[in-house]
């Protein structure tokens, strides 16, 4: 069974980009059935049972059926609301979210154990309301998972901590991570259109540069969305800038507006073809990225365990969904 995503988003001219009357076929997703549905339900039960949030749900990720049926999910810690209001993201914005939940690290570790995760991706909401941007809480969550599952590789998809370099140092000091990820999200020219004014490509690049400087033993990873108004050339330039600060793992995916009825969300500017994503993948590898996932439905945590394994083994492992052929 397959379905179209609920994101037929007209652009500013009131039409779908590139003259599409509907979304292109390569954005078709498969719904789980049989054993896959049971596995999906198992993932859901653990998440709900442990009172955790996931970016899969909060960001309305198109891969949720695929990933959860594989028994993976990306946990979102430090609350369900973010202090920033980026125009691509459906996570709710609040100036003053609830206080941090001191039990969250243990509940997270318990969920990871129940799901027998070999690799876990933990992402965060921005907590500009906290003096350390939430860094200490992020660190506690990672430590709790590591205590419970010392063999599990951990990937933290971090905020920019509002450029608080002391907080970044604290976060990274002896943290048992394998991957430190932080997303630049879009090409630099579009920062003000796409991201909250407190975020920028330059600041994100600096987070990644410093992370590598502080912890050369960790892989650094970033992600770019396309379809928000960039040119192909700007994507190539952005990839090169990421390589120049030592980023080794990269993902590229198509932006899909979370809700066409809400003016907060940017309209889709264009649907990039699977062939163009493949072109960037080859280009990124030629630049020296150790692992690349590039395709219409790719998200920063998409098949994250395989992306890491590809980097560590040098073997190409990341297969894109069949709809993208
Ligand atoms: S790609 Fe990431 S955010 Fe999307 S469903 Fe999979 S794990 Fe969740």
* C-beta of 74 in contact with ligand 1 (< 6 A): yes
What is the domain-level CATH number for residue 147?
Answer: 3.20.20.70
Q: What is the atom index within ligand 1 of the atom nearest the CA of 61?
A: 4
Asked whether residue 6 is domain-assigned, the answer is no
% of the chain surpassing 70 pLDDT: 91
Query: Residue 239 sits in which domain range?
Result: 31-324
What pLDDT digit, counting tens, does each position of 41-95 carry? 999 999 999 999 999 999 889 999 999 999 999 999 999 999 999 999 999 999 9
- What φ, ψ does residue 254 adopt, rounded to 5°? -80, 130
Which of 3 and 221 is assigned the larger pLDDT? 221
- The CA distances from residue 123 to 4, 76, 107, 134, 285, in Å, are 27, 5, 15, 12, 25
| Band of residue 33 on the pLDDT scale cut at 50, 70, 90 | confident
Asked whether residue 223 is domain-assigned, the answer is yes
| Distance in angstroms (rounded) separating the CA atoms of residues 240 and 247 | 10
Residue 120 pLDDT exceeds 80: yes
Read off the pLDDT of each residue in 15-32 and give the average, rounded to a whole number.
75
Q: Which of 323, 235, 228 is nearest to 270 (CA)?
A: 228
* C-beta of 249 in contact with ligand 1 (< 6 A): no
Q: What separation in Å is there between the alpha carbon of 55 and the centre of ligand 1?
A: 7
Asked whether residue 215 is domain-assigned, the answer is yes
Q: What separation in Å is there between the alpha carbon of 56 and the centre of ligand 1?
A: 5
Q: What separation in Å is there between the alpha carbon of 302 and the centre of ligand 1?
A: 5
Asked whether residue 47 is domain-assigned, the answer is yes
> Which residue's CA is minimally distant from atom 8 of ligand 1?
56
% of the chain surpassing 90 pLDDT: 83
Residue 7 pLDDT exceeds 60: no
Residue 12 pLDDT exceeds 80: no
| Band of residue 16 on the pLDDT scale cut at 50, 70, 90 | low
What is the chain's percent helix, strand, coil content, to nearest 5? 40, 15, 45
What pLDDT digit, counting tens, does each position of 258-298 carry? 876 678 899 999 999 999 999 999 999 999 999 999 999 99
Asked whether residue 250 is domain-assigned, the answer is yes
The total number of structural domains in the chain stands at 1
Asked whether residue 12 is domain-assigned, the answer is no
Asked whether residue 2 is domain-assigned, the answer is no
pLDDT for 289: 98
pLDDT for 8: 41
Asked whether residue 241 is domain-assigned, the answer is yes
CA angle at residue 204 from 199 to 209, to 5 degrees? 160
What pLDDT digit, counting tens, does each position of 133-175 carry? 999 999 999 999 999 999 999 999 999 999 999 999 999 999 9
């Amino acid at each position: 069974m397959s379905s179209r995503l609920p994101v037929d988003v007209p652009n500013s001219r009131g039409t779908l980009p590139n003259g599409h009357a509907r979304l292109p076929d390569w954005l078709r997703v498969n719904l789980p059935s049989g054993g896959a549905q049971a596995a999906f339900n198992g993932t859901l039960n653990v998440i709900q049972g442990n009172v955790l949030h996931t970016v899969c749900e909060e960001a309305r990720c198109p891969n949720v059926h695929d990933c959860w049926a594989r028994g993976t999910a990306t946990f979102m810690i430090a609350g369900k609301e973010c202090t920033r209001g980026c125009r691509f993201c459906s996570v709710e914005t609040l100036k003053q979210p609830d206080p941090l939940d001191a039990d969250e690290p243990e509940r997270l570790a318990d969920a990871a154990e129940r799901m027998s995760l070999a690799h876990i991706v933990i992402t965060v909401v921005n907590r500009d309301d906290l003096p350390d941007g939430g860094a200490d809480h992020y660190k506690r969550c990672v430590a709790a998972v590591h205590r419970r599952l010392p063999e599990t590789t951990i990937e933290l998809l971090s905020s920019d901590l509002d450029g608080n370099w002391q907080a970044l140092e604290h976060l990274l000091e002896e943290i048992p991570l394998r991957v430190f990820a932080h997303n630049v999200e879009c090409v630099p020219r579009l920062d003000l259109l796409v991201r909250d004014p407190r975020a920028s490509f330059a600041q994100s690049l600096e987070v990644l540069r410093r992370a590598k400087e502080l912890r050369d033993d960790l892989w650094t990873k970033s992600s770019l969305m396309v379809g928000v108004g960039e040119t192909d050339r700007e994507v190539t330039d952005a990839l090169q800038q990421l390589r120049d600060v030592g980023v080794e793992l990269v993902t590229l995916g198509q932006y899909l507006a979370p809700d066409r009825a809400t003016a907060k969300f940017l309209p889709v500017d264009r649907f990039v073809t699977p062939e163009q994503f493949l072109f960037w993948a080859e280009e990124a590898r030629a630049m020296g990225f150790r692992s690349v996932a590039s395709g219409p439905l790719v998200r920063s945590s998409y098949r994250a365990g395989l992306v890491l394994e590809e980097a560590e083994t040098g073997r190409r492992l990341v297969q894109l969904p069949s709809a993208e052929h």
